Amino acid sequence: MPLLRIAALATAALAAGCLHDVHPRSPVAPAPPVRHADVRVLVLGDFGADTLGQRLVGRAIHAESRARPFDLAIQLGDNIYYCGPDPARLGAEGCRFAADGATVEPGYAPPADPRFRAAEAPLEGLVARDGGPLPVHLVLGNHDVGWGGGRCAVRGLPDDEASRRRACLEVAHRAPAWSMPARHYVVDRGPIRIVAVDTNVVVADYGGFTLDAELAFVREATRGCGRERFCFLAGHHPPASVHGYGRGAAPAYAARMSRLVAAAEGRAAAFLAGHVHTLEHLALGSLDVFVSGSAAMGGFMKFRWRFPAAARMLFATTAWGFAILEADAEGWRVRFQDLRGEVLHCCEARGEGPCAPVECG
């Protein structure tokens, strides 16, 4: 859908009073006592498009940050719509991954590319709780690598090389509101670990990157996770969602995503994802799944399908917004907040238990 069309739809929806489709919520418990957060994380996805929704969500994020600063942010992919950075830009051809297939070879300086500004500009100036600039970490989405060629094809450049080059350029880029140290990586902060993964390999191997390598990374990165450290997988594609895109995912995709989730061997507390332009909380067995993909694109669909069938929907809305993850030594909690600052859904997890819906205090 063209960006102008999305902007027009966003304007119409906002003019109509920000009416959005909301799936019926599960029962909620009373609000728990307020606890100090040892770490506070801004969670948002599909943010890399200059739309009215993005500007309003960005404004809401700044307001929330001024009132209660974050410690870090995680962007869940589709950082640059529609096709990622320019792989044909002079100097882009020199971007190479190191032998680990995740980090960029030392010494490479990427060319300046104005496409990055769409994701960076709205988050610049955010101040972390320690008084410094807010660290903003990102993962790769399908639009970042120009998945499948098509409208993202580059004349004279094979699609696989173009995708690999785009991934390399995003990893190599550095800015105050952009940090992607590797194609997959770990961020430790207080009682939590964020395991950032490249879920594009769940759709299919691409650019020389394989699902098997991603599985090995997840197994190693989640060792030691549990009661003493809460680990969160963070990737673009969700392992569960409700949506209006179609009846469900292809069997091959479902099987590959199941392998990625299984690689954590039950040690991950939750999966943070985007891709679907909604705010959702689902339970997939013992794994909580949070979809925060409506920061710029918004959702204009009805909730028709649930994937997989075994997933239990706890909350879903097409409202523009973002998520906030907080944690301390006793447990962790998540809440969804919309572009007006209204809190839409909250849940709390004690120890290694699930994140149970609670009233938002």
Tens of pLDDT along 299-309?
677 888 899 99
Residue 80 pLDDT level (bands cut at 50, 70, 90):
very high
Strand partners, 41: 72, 325
Confidence of residue 23 (pLDDT cuts 50, 70, 90): low
Question: For position 156, what pLDDT does the model report?
Answer: 95
Lowest mean pLDDT among 4-8, 99-103, 181-185, 315-319: 4-8
Looking at residue 247, its pLDDT comes to 66
Where residue 16 falls among pLDDT bands split at 50, 70, 90?
very low
* pLDDT tens figures, 93-115: 999 999 999 999 999 999 999 99
The confidence score (pLDDT) of residue 253 equals 94
**What domains can you pick out in the chain, each with its CATH number?**
3-78+183-358 (3.60.21.10)
Tens-digit pLDDT profile for residues 43-69? 999 999 999 999 999 999 999 999 999
Which range is least confidently modeled, 21-25, 78-82, 236-240, 339-343? 21-25
**Residue 146 predicted with pLDDT over 60:** yes
What is the band of 249 on the pLDDT scale with cuts at 50, 70, 90?
Answer: confident
Q: What is the pLDDT of residue 361?
A: 83
User: Residue 12's pLDDT is what?
Assistant: 46
Per the prediction, the chain carries an average pLDDT of 92
pLDDT band at 17 (very low <50, low <70, confident <90, very high): very low
